[in-house]
Each structure stands twice: as C-alpha cells, then as structure tokens.
Structure 1
Amino acid sequence: MARDGARPAYDPAGHDTELRAALQEVRTGRWMSMRTLLERTTPWWQWTQRTQVLAAAAAGTDVVRAWLAEEPHSVPAAVMRARVAVERALRARRESHRRTHQLWIEAWDVSDAATRAAPRDPVPWICLLALAQLDRRQLWVEHRAAPPAPMLPAGPWGLLAEADRRDPYNREAHHRMLQFLYAQASSERLAEAAGFAHHVAESAPPGSALHMLPLYVRVERYRRGGGRPAALDLHWVADDATREAGRAYEAWFERADPAERSPVDLNHLAHALWGALRFEDAARVFEAIGPYYTPLPWAYRAAEPGDRSEAAQIFLQARARSRSAAHGPDA
C-alpha cells in the first residue's frame, strides 16, 4: 500500500520493473536490454505496451538504428524502427515542425515494411493507424473506409480491423482510432468519437480495457470545452457520467488481470470515480495505482492546464478524500 500522503511519481513503466530497467539502458544509448526484454515478451497486450513505451524513450536517440546495424534481420528491431518513426512523426506534428510531412511518409514506409516483416504482429498496423490522424482531410483512401456501424464515420477502419484480427480488442489500436476521430477537430466528430467508444465498450468482453473508452471521451469533451475545475466536478456527477464510471469499474477493474491494468487507465478510472463521488470504489483503484500516477487526467484540473506539479497535488487530494470517505479519517 502506498503511504498516505506520499508524493506520487510518474514513471511510464509503472509496475513493470523489467521494462523500467530496459528503459534506463535505452536512455543511455544501449539496446541489449531492450532486445532481451522483447525476446521474452509474448502476450500481445504486453508486447504492444512495452514497444510503445520503449519507442517514446528511444525516439530521441539512435539506439534502434544501432541495434539494426548489428542485427539487420531482427524482426523486433524492425518493429521498433516503425514505432520510433511514428513517435517522431507525431511529435513533429504536435510541434508544427517543418519536416512533419517528410517524417510522416518515412514512418509510413517503415511501418508498411514491418507489416511484412512481422505478419502476425498487431503493432505495425497500430503504427499505420496512429499515422492516420496526420491525414486530417482524409486524402488517403485507406483513411476513409466505410464504417462497421451506421452511426460511425468513414475512417481507417481497415487498419483497425487488421490490428484487431491479430489481437482482438487491442487497447492501443482502439485508442489510436479515437485519436483519429479527435483529429477531425469538430464538435460533431467528438460526438462520433463518443459513439465509437460506446459501440466498442458494449461489445468488449469482461476485463477488457476497452470498457474505459467512454471515460476518455468524456475527459476530452471537457478539455475541449475549456472548463474550470468546478465545472469538471459537475461534469462527473451527472447521471450518465456516474453510470459510465460504474460500468468501467465493474466491467474492467473488477474483472481484469491486475498485471494487465495500465497506469493511465487506472488513473482515469480513479479520477472518474472520485469525481462521481464513488469514494469506496475510487479508494480501491488508488490502492491499485500505488505510487505510479500519470499526470493526465489530473492536469486538466490544474489552474494552468498541464501543470504537472499541481496535477500531483490534485491526485494526492483525491486519494486522501477517497480513502477518508471509504475508511474513515484515520485510514
């Protein structure tokens, strides 16, 4: 149990100690620990999560290039090359970098090559799906495929289907689809994102992290509205928000393998349950989080959105309030 009042730490590896060790090596420009870790990573959920976190650390280094120079036929290295290229392209778009288009095309090329190098792996298809958000006008044919349900818009559904075929209900693949819908930037598109989130959550099996999708859309709706923290409080006590938080708790948190719960999902659920005044349930989620909080969604409540220091303080306040309500002031 995390000590009450202990300062939370942001660590992208969360409770994954093996991943944390590999990340430390990657940040210093060494790739052997990454290779060893990925060689013994077998479940697709864990492979997807670890390659994503490693790519975020490797994107500012030449570590994957060095790996490929030593092992040019390594399939994991080819997948990591795609991951890193996509991470760089997305960062360039966020920073409005002049090389964004060039990095996008380069990332598409290596991701497409990775689909052939690793034909059973969902990650190369997730990479292509992640890049779809850069095509905001949907000029590419593969980004305006017919949807699987009438209330959904045209989009990169074929890419999502390819990822889903290899790893049904893959968490990141569906979040990348949400990001594509967000990138269209209109309030109408956000309604479509909400429709997609509910459509997926209704069909997801018990224990799937996809039951969390409606909570992410709800946070995005608030973020785009530019509301203040007081408005966010009212946002979560609405009946539909309370129901969404309760469904996510029951269908995901209570049914999922604890090892598969991602830190960012746990933090979004704790935030939703606390906002919905479901303190006993929130207290249980906070205990599962332990010391590894994530700045989002807490930073959206900060006076200056994105302030990580204030986000950590808000997390502490929410944790203390939930524990106190659930177990008494001496908890």
Structure 2
Amino acid sequence: MARDGARPAYDPAGPDTALRAALQEVRAGRWMSMRTLLAETASWWRWTQRTQVLAAAAAGTDVVRAWLAEEPHSLPAALMHARVAVERALRAHRERHGRTTELWHEAWRASDALTRAAPHDPVPWVCLLALSRLDEEQRWAEHRVAPPEPMLPPGPWGLLTEADKRDPYNREAHHRMLQFLYGRSASGRLAEAAGFAHWAADAAPPGSPLHLLPLYVRVERYRRDGGRDAALDLHWVAEDASREALRAFHGWFEPATATERGPLDLNHLAHALWGALRFAEADRVFDAVGPYWTPLPWTHRTAAPGDHAQAAEVFQQARARSRSGARRP
C-alpha cells in the first residue's frame, strides 16, 4: 500500500486502529471506548499522543463532561477534561475569541489540579506548557524561569523539567515549548526557537523524535518568509538544511530504538529529505509513511496554504520524485 501511488487520505489516528475506533465513538457522543482505550494504554508516549488526539475530537462535544458526570472520581476522565479545556482555550486564542482569558484560566485550574491528583503523569505538565503561549507578555512567574543554557531565553522551563522528570524527552512537551518560543519570535527570525530545537536534538538519545525539532523550525521559518517562491526553494537545499535532514534521519529514523514513529514526524522527515534532494533516504521514509499523509508540512509548499487537495498533490509528487531518484545508480 505504501508504494502503489494511491491518493493519500488524512487520518488523525494514523496507523493506530484502536484509537481510530475510539475516535469514531467520541464523535458520536459516546465515551466508553475512550475509557477502555486509555485503560489499556501502557506507555507514556502512547498516553500523551492518544489523549491529545482524543481531546481534539472531543473539544466540540460534551462527551468528556458526560463521562466525568458518570464517573466523577475517574482520573482518566479528569485528565481528558483538562485536555479538552486546554484545546478549547488554544482554539479561542487563535480565533481571538472574547472568552479566551476565561477559558485559559479554567484550563489552567484543571491542569494544575491534576499535577497533584496524578503526580506521576507527564500530561498535566504538558497541558500547562501548552497554555504558556497564551501568556504573551510572560507576566506569570512560571513562564519566565531562567533557562538551562545561557544562550536560551527565559521561559516555562520549570514546566518542561517537570514533564521531563516523568517522561524523559517527551515529544509533545518539547513541541509545546517550541510553540511558546514561536510566540516570542512573532516578528523575528526564530533564532530562539532554532537554538532550542538544536539544543534539545543534540541532547536526545538515538531514536528520539526530538531529533526532528530543527525540521519543524525550518518549516515555520519558510512559512513566515512567504513560502512557495522560487528563491525560497533554496531554503531546502542549503547545506544546513541537508545536514538537519540527515541528522534527523540517522538520529531518529534509523536506530532500532525509534519506536515513537508518528505520522506527523514521518511526513516532516520525508519532506525535509525530498527538499534536500536526498532521494534514497526520502524513499525509505515515504515507505514508512505509507498512506498516513498529514497536511503539514506539505500545505506550505502550495500556492494556497490550507488547501489540502493541493497539499496532497505535492505529497504525491514528492513521493514519486523520491522513488524515481532513489532508483538511479
């Protein structure tokens, strides 16, 4: 299926069939499958990823509220309540909604309470990290803690440390930190975000998805520079771009310890290797992507960012070009 050239289709569950089934139930307003799925989730990586995807689906419904009403002492239900509250606050912030501050504080209270109710769980700290980007002026003391390295800026480092204590190198926690730093660089060149991404990638063990953080910063820089411009295509073939792509490939994709292979990371790596003209490596990653295409980062390479149909076309062209290039002697 990975090599048959079929048109890709986006699925937020990716290859996780159990999550896909639970998502269908959540969208229908039923919570029992979600409870069962979370009860069977053993690793922190799966726990973090599944609760995030479920919250995105549940944020427009009352399904988690119904679960919590039926089982008011359930920690998973309370966690999903916090996850949904965070998702709603972030959406309100993006849309500049008048209730943003109210939703933010509600989400913060739910997440903060969970740091004590579920002291071994990294997700409450990930939730607090996600909310830190709403404090755009860094008025809260926990959002302007001194950094672990002199070249990094003040920020919610204590929250990242707490998540890291419970699940070292937690993928979402580091991406939430990256998003906080994007907010500090609203009109800049993302130097702070790039510095953090390289610092985290350099410290990550083989097989960690943190090796891909510099690729995300490069996509964000391309987006801010305007994207889809002939001159900007050099952005992807520059020596440092090729070096970042290969370091991510060797640091994350190749090691046998690379068990955390989500579709979004695979798509970013395939995109970076294709852009750097590293077709042999890109072909291997496209095989791993299979049918589980994600709109990002491909939508930034289209004439109309946000057009998923065009983004899917770019994905297919990149896959075909990589396969063709990989077969050449």
Please give the range of the TM-score, normalised by the shorter of the 2 chains. Answer: over 0.9
Pair 1:73-2:73 in alignment: yes
Q: Which residue does the alignment assign to 1:11?
A: 11
Structure 2 residues not aligned, in runs of 5+: none
Q: Which residue does the alignment assign to 1:180?
A: 180
Pair 1:24-2:27 in alignment: no
Amino acid at match of 2:10: Y
Alpha-carbon separation, structure 2, partners of 1:176 and 1:32: 29
Q: Which residue does the alignment assign to 1:255?
A: 255
Q: Which residue does the alignment assign to 1:203?
A: 203
Moved over 4 A (4+): 256-259
Amino acid at match of 2:116: R
Deviates more, 1:252-261 or 1:236-245: 252-261
Matched ranges for 1:69-218 at <5 A: 69-188=69-188, 190-218=190-218
Q: Can you list the C-alpha shifts for 1:62-101, whole angstroms capped at 9, x where unaligned?
A: 1111111111000111111110000000000111111111
Amino acid at match of 2:65: R
Q: Can you list the C-alpha shifts for 1:191-245, whole angstroms capped at 9, x where unaligned?
A: 0110000001001000000000000001111111113242342111100110000
Pair 1:54-2:54 in alignment: yes
Q: Are 1:197 and 1:217, in contact at CA under 8 Å, matched by a contact in 2?
A: yes
Q: Secondary structure of 1:200's match?
A: helix
Q: Can you list the C-alpha shifts for 1:233-272, whole angstroms capped at 9, x where unaligned?
A: 2111100110000000000001155652010000000000
Pair 1:281-2:249 in alignment: no
Q: Secondary structure of 1:9's match?
A: coil
TM-score, normalising length: structure 2:
0.97
Q: Which residue does the alignment assign to 2:306?
A: 306
User: Cα distance 1:86–1:276, how it changes in 2: closer, same or farther (>3 A)?
Assistant: same
User: Cα distance 1:100–1:286, how it changes in 2: closer, same or farther (>3 A)?
Assistant: same
Alpha-carbon separation, structure 1, partners of 2:257 and 2:319: 23
Q: Are 1:279 and 1:322, in contact at CA under 8 Å, matched by a contact in 2?
A: yes
Q: Which residue does the alignment assign to 1:240?
A: 240
Q: Are 1:232 and 1:301, in contact at CA under 8 Å, matched by a contact in 2?
A: no
Q: Can you list the C-alpha shifts for 1:260-311, whole angstroms capped at 9, x where unaligned?
A: 2010000000000000000010011001001010000000011011111100
Alpha-carbon separation, structure 2, partners of 1:313 and 1:256: 32
CA RMSD, 1 decimal: 1.4
Amino acid at match of 1:60: G
Q: Which residue does the alignment assign to 1:43?
A: 43
Deviation at 1:20, TM superposition (A): 0.3
Alpha-carbon separation, structure 2, partners of 1:29 and 1:117: 26
Q: Are 2:252 and 2:258, in contact at CA under 8 Å, matched by a contact in 1?
A: no
Q: Can you list the C-alpha shifts for 1:14-68, whole angstroms capped at 9, x where unaligned?
A: 0000000000000000000000000010100110000000000000011111111
Amino acid at match of 1:308: H
Matched ranges for 1:221-232 at <5 A: 221-232=221-232
Amino acid at match of 1:119: P
Alpha-carbon separation, structure 1, partners of 2:310 and 2:186: 29
Q: Tell me the matched-pair count.
A: 329
Deviation at 1:324, TM superposition (A): 1.2
Q: Secondary structure of 2:133's match?
A: helix
Q: Are 1:181 and 1:189, in contact at CA under 8 Å, matched by a contact in 2?
A: no
Identity of aligned residues (%): 77
Q: Are 2:2 and 2:287, in contact at CA under 8 Å, matched by a contact in 1?
A: yes
User: Cα distance 1:26–1:259, how it changes in 2: closer, same or farther (>3 A)?
Assistant: farther
Amino acid at match of 2:226: G
Structure 1 residues not aligned, in runs of 5+: none
Amino acid at match of 1:321: R
Alpha-carbon separation, structure 2, partners of 1:302 and 1:315: 10
Q: Secondary structure of 2:12's match?
A: coil
